Structure 1
Amino acid sequence: MRVLPPAARACVLGAVLAAAACAAPALRPGSAVPWPAVGLLAALCLGSEAARSLPLRERGSPEGSGPFFPVVLAAVFLLPPSAAALVALPGGLAQPAVQRPVAVRRVWHAARQAVAAWAAGQAYGLLGGREALAGAAAFPSAMLPAALAAAVFCLVLTALDAAVLAAAEPRPAGAARRGPAGLLRLPPGGTAALAPYCLHGLVGLMTAVMWHSPYGPPAALLALLPMYISCWVFAQYRREHAAHQATIRALVQAVDIKDRYTRGHSERVGQASEMIARELGMADDRREVVRIAGILHDVGKLGVPTRLLRKDGPLTPEERRVIELHPEYGHEMVRGIGFLGEARAAILHHHERVDGSGYPYGLSGEQIPVLARVVAVADSFDAMTSTRSYSRARPVETALAELERCAGSQFDPAMVRALTTAVGRHGWHPVVTSDEDLPAAPAAAPAPAAGARDTGREGLPGMPAQVRDAAQTGPPGPGKAGR
């Protein structure tokens, strides 16, 4: 507790005292609490959280695949509010807490759930839910009170989360939720939208209805099983997705460390690639693949000698041939990463040209994979609009005009049109800025005339240096030949 700010300590302590006050009436002598039902539901709540977090949870994975609330909400519908608060305590204490302070986080989880369960139970009782559940038409009559009780449960959890986040960090709760230093930053399940809570409430109501049926608690437990399996599968998906993102970040960081002058280039190419894909009407899953392809397009630089990436002055023909192997290096590096899918082909072919003069295989036109054609345009666009130590960034309009001029020879015209339309509609607001800490660059030299060849940067005639660089291997560092 001592590591928390005083306001956060007060917030946690207040929640603990409130939870104790909510549960206290159930512990008074003579209270009409069905202790067998309380014990069974509390054990079930504890068991569901323990099973979710122990044997199948990956060590070190981020907490917060989302608590399993149907048992707690079933207790809200079946028991007095104070008894429902007691049922919520064991499950809250068992929720995963991998960030420090672990003990405080577990106590916070338990206290907030107990308070939320008590508040939901009060709302459910005031709306006549218990009388409706005991009637002949239990299920339809109790649906509205149950839905509102689930909403109260969600709102109380969200309000408590917002309070402790605002107390733990001197920023608004929304910003604190995303900040790096929140000692009590909570998993997504704590501040989720209302819809999942309503679904949990529906399953909890079905459990309560079956509990009151002639088949009793065993049938009620069976009603929970499909929901538990669904939650577990979704949690596995989220952990797998987080592992994929961590893999991508690690690869990009390795490239940025090796070639500091392209830092942030990968993320911006991914952003521009996604804009093109969205304009082309690609489905969400394919847009994600093309974004990843843009981010990882230069991963093959890890296989290129650092001395070549950082060399000052022109490259020899032999050195250029080594540099031009980086798409193949990248493809080999990611070949075994199954979730990349089409992105692997984009990494391999993003330096092909529609007129067949690109590399590594000299593909042309429709032979070039669609995602590779998308990434090629995004790569060149970012090369022209990013400041490097050898030249300042060109205006977006100038870069788009140059892409249009090269459409049909270097670039697929459809991809260029898509980027132009997307930028015209949404603007270009890159999510990262790669070279803020680099020294100011001199003004860019004018592009050579059509048909001329810049021998300092052996590239394509009649194109600005940045476009030729991107057509070869991406934006170069200061004073280097086009890579």
Structure 2
Amino acid sequence: MRGVPGGARALILCAVVCAGAGALHAVLPGARVPWSTVAQLAVLYAVCEMPARCPVISRFAGGAVPMSAGSFFPVLLAAALLLPPAAAALAAVPGALVARVEQRPAGARRVWRAAQIALAAWAASGAAALSGGMGEAAFPRVLLPAGAAALAFCLVLTALDGAILVTAERVPARAAWRGLLPRALAPHAVHGLAGLMMAVLWSSPYGPVSALFVLLPMVISCWAFGQYHRERGAHRSTIRALVQAVDIKDRYTRGHSERVGQASVLIARELGMDEERLEVLRFAGILHDVGKLGVPTRVLRKDGPLTADERRVIELHPEYGHEMVRGIGFLGEARAAILHHHERLDGTGYPYGLAGRQIPEFARVVAVADAFDAMTSTRSYSRARPVATAVEELKRCSGTQFDPCMVRALVRALDRHGWQTTVTADEPLPGRPPAAEAPGPEPGARIPRPDDAPPRAPEPATGRRTAERRGG
């Protein structure tokens, strides 16, 4: 339990005690428990969870499936319909204990998961019993206890998931439970129907063996989910390789792309975007500067004023980036953000001079995140501005350079979560003082373009209002 916050320890202990107290009724004198059914269901659930811990089977199945996927919850819901509450809780424990745990501390997470699922199974069985139970009920009457069991199971899991986020991850209570229940209701309703089919077949003259056929779709869905996670892993590896290539080429922006992705997600959460769009927007923030791979290194690293031609080359990096990712289908809206993240609300940006709502929503989010991280990161040529100063600068430029809605969303997110200022590119360029000695920009100065080189001397006009720093 080392490294687990005190509040989380108390919550885990409370869950274990409650689960133990609920299961204790199964062994009390006079308790009528069908122990053979408990054992069969417990073994079945444990066997279903074992492949994720077996490398050979996991590889055959297309990769490990996280426990949160709940691929075999129908077994537990069948137990809730077939067993009394205490016995249903006991049947859930072995499988929960053997399930794969990827994050540390593994022991605490495993104990927590076992207690959580045992409590959910106990509540589901109790809800089914209060709804009349299965008994000899015929269709559609039997749907009522199945629906009650699935709903109780879902409510307990989501309530405890939110509680552990608050105590262990320090997530604000309002954010911890937001969206958890709506996202979980549909999957648990499907699990409830599958559990009902298992329970009906289990109780039929064909016996428990016939109920195993219900698991075939679960196994197929488990395999498909594993394939999906492998594909997502490949996506992340591709993006990571592109970002590393940009960081190697442009030493001024090391780590910047990841932070822009994080800031973009903070803004998007405040805007209420769904999880799927959040992931795509994170990709947009991470890859917004991938077009720098098409800019000559000598221009990116030039230690001196840029010529007008060099400035025009730098300003082509959004178009280069868009061409590079054009064929990557999973990026979706991120491609437009990569192309347009240097457009300005007043129409004086580049590459196409779009204005207002002509600029895609993702591009308006990334523009704010990009500028914010550029101002709050210490580079080899300038100190980081305080977060409050950067926010004031963003507000000052709202309506002309940035979308005020996105700026307000970032401000709200910073109030909730804060922001850790970062040092990037700590090695000073030849002839430049270290970051600690380099003077920072004046508070009243025009907002610098993100990801750019040091402030330059005035350059020849290019026919477009450009920023003082190299395009980011």
TM-score (norm 2): 0.65
CA distance in 1, matches of 2:311, 2:420: 25
Structure 1 position 78, deviation (Å): 0.9
The verdict on how the C-alpha distance between 1:50 and 1:434 changes in structure 2, with shifts beyond 3 A counting, is closer
- Say if 2:94 is the partner of 1:97: no
Q: 1:73 maps to which residue?
A: 77
- Say if 2:158 is the partner of 1:158: yes
CA distance in 2, matches of 1:16, 1:240: 36
Question: Does the 8 A contact of 2:78 with 2:195 survive in 1?
Answer: yes
The verdict on how the C-alpha distance between 1:20 and 1:342 changes in structure 2, with shifts beyond 3 A counting, is closer
Structure 1 position 89, deviation (Å): 1.0
Question: Does the 8 A contact of 1:81 with 1:122 survive in 2?
Answer: yes
Q: 1:221 maps to which residue?
A: 212
Q: How does 1:441-480 map to 2 (within 5 A)?
A: 441-442=441-442, 443-444=444-445, 456-458=458-460, 460-461=462-463, 463=465, 465-466=466-467, 474-475=471-472
CA distance in 2, matches of 1:221, 1:65: 20
The verdict on how the C-alpha distance between 1:305 and 1:13 changes in structure 2, with shifts beyond 3 A counting, is same
CA distance in 2, matches of 1:297, 1:9: 41
Identity %: 49
Question: Does the 8 A contact of 2:295 with 2:313 survive in 1?
Answer: yes
Between the two proteins, the alignment pairs up a number of residues equal to 418
Q: How does 1:379-458 map to 2 (within 5 A)?
A: 429=410, 440-442=440-442, 443-444=444-445, 456-458=458-460
CA distance in 1, matches of 2:171, 2:360: 43
Q: CA RMSD in A?
A: 5.4
Structure 1 position 121, deviation (Å): 1.5
Question: Does the 8 A contact of 1:139 with 1:209 survive in 2?
Answer: no
Structure 1 position 64, deviation (Å): 3.4
Q: 2:186 maps to which residue?
A: 195
Q: 1:106 maps to which residue?
A: 110
Q: 2:35 maps to which residue?
A: 35
Quick one: which amino acid aligns to residue 212 of structure 2? L
CA distance in 2, matches of 1:103, 1:287: 31
Q: How does 1:30-429 map to 2 (within 5 A)?
A: 31-52=31-52, 54=54, 55-56=58-59, 64-66=68-70, 68-129=72-133, 133-135=134-136, 137-168=137-168, 172-173=172-173, 193-234=184-225, 236-238=227-229, 240-241=231-232, 244-245=235-236, 247-248=238-239, 251-252=242-243, 255=246, 258-260=251-253, 263=256, 267=261, 292=283, 295-302=286-293, 304=295, 308-315=299-306, 323=314, 326=317, 330=321, 339-340=330-331, 429=410
CA distance in 1, matches of 2:336, 2:255: 22
The verdict on how the C-alpha distance between 1:335 and 1:258 changes in structure 2, with shifts beyond 3 A counting, is farther
The verdict on how the C-alpha distance between 1:348 and 1:225 changes in structure 2, with shifts beyond 3 A counting, is same
CA distance in 2, matches of 1:9, 1:350: 44
Structure 1 position 41, deviation (Å): 1.6
Structure 1 position 48, deviation (Å): 1.7
CA distance in 2, matches of 1:2, 1:289: 35
Q: 1:412 maps to which residue?
A: none
The verdict on how the C-alpha distance between 1:212 and 1:165 changes in structure 2, with shifts beyond 3 A counting, is same
Q: 1:20 maps to which residue?
A: 20
Question: Does the 8 A contact of 2:281 with 2:362 survive in 1?
Answer: yes
SS at match of 1:113: helix
Structure 1 position 294, deviation (Å): 6.5
Structure 1 position 128, deviation (Å): 1.2
Structure 1 position 200, deviation (Å): 1.4
Segment drifting more, 32-41 vs 255-264? 255-264
SS at match of 1:154: helix
The verdict on how the C-alpha distance between 1:251 and 1:458 changes in structure 2, with shifts beyond 3 A counting, is farther
CA distance in 2, matches of 1:167, 1:384: 33
Quick one: which amino acid aligns to residue 315 of structure 1? L
CA distance in 2, matches of 1:383, 1:164: 32
Say which one has the larger Rg.
1
Structure 1 position 77, deviation (Å): 0.2
CA distance in 2, matches of 1:381, 1:162: 30
CA distance in 1, matches of 2:123, 2:420: 50
The verdict on how the C-alpha distance between 1:327 and 1:202 changes in structure 2, with shifts beyond 3 A counting, is same
Question: Does the 8 A contact of 2:246 with 2:289 survive in 1?
Answer: yes
